[in-house]
Amino acid sequence: MHDRDREFRAYFEARAAVVRRTAFLLCGDWHWAEDLAQTALAKVYQHWGQLDRSGQVDAYVRKVLVRTVIDESRWRRRRPETVVDVVPEVAEAVTGLEEAMDVRHALAALPPKQRAAVVLRYWEDLPVAATAAALGCSEGTVKSQVSKGLGALRRTLAVRRSVLREGS
């Protein structure tokens, strides 16, 4: 095995789960998140030999992942849905916490760029400049997308809470 392959394998083993979780938060579906993470990491592997691996690999992987999610979400909107006879198993166990599920559903309802901005800023805890670099946009656009995304999340969650209060 070449040094390049060994280095990538070590990176993959250390970070693949984080990339999958971030992909899930960006798309809201564990199966699709697995595909997105795999696609993004395959793209990174293609350029692994040319990457400056002095601490910026995670930022590069996030950028590739976000662009992959946005590109694939455009493609998925144009592709017709496929009906299946059997529902696939859930990829990861659900904890049963209703509030976490409500947040995930609300997050999944956001447009892809707003969702990406919110996830990178608040899940990945990236500063505005790093989020802008990952999304390939200006810092002002990041602030705008985060503001709109958080506003939509608050409205969606407020409606959900009021429905739950009325039902009890």
Tokens of 80: 């017709």
Return the C-alpha torsion angle 118, 120, 121, 127, nearest 10.
-150
pTM above 0.75, yes or no: no
Question: Does the structure show a pLDDT above 50 at 107?
Answer: yes
Q: Which band of pLDDT confidence, cut at 50, 70 and 90, is reported for residue 73?
A: confident
Share in percent of the chain as helix, strand, coil (round to 5): 75, 0, 25
Lookup result for tokens 């694939």: 72
Q: What is the distance between the alpha carbons of residues 153 and 160, in angstroms, rounded to a whole number? A: 11
DSSP string over 18-54: HHHHHHHHHHS-HHHHHHHHHHHHHHHHHTGGG---S
How many angstroms separate the Cα of 118 from the Cα of each of 41, 87, 122?
A: 22, 30, 6
Q: Which band of pLDDT confidence, cut at 50, 70 and 90, is reported for residue 53?
A: low
Give the domains, in start order, of the chain with CATH numbers.
Answer: 1-93 (1.10.1740), 95-168 (1.10.10.10)
Q: Are 146 and 110 in contact (CB under 8 A)?
A: no
User: pLDDT tens digit string along 108-151?
Assistant: 889 989 999 999 998 888 899 999 998 899 999 999 999 999 99
Residues belonging to the chain: 168
Q: Are 68 and 42 in contact (CB under 8 A)?
A: no
Share of the chain above pLDDT 90, in %: 36
Question: Does the structure show a pLDDT above 70 at 78?
Answer: no
Q: What pLDDT, on the 0 to 100 scale, is given for residue 92? A: 46
Q: What is the distance between the alpha carbons of residues 62 and 37, in angstroms, rounded to a whole number? A: 10
Q: What is the distance between the alpha carbons of residues 68 and 117, in angstroms, rounded to a whole number? A: 14
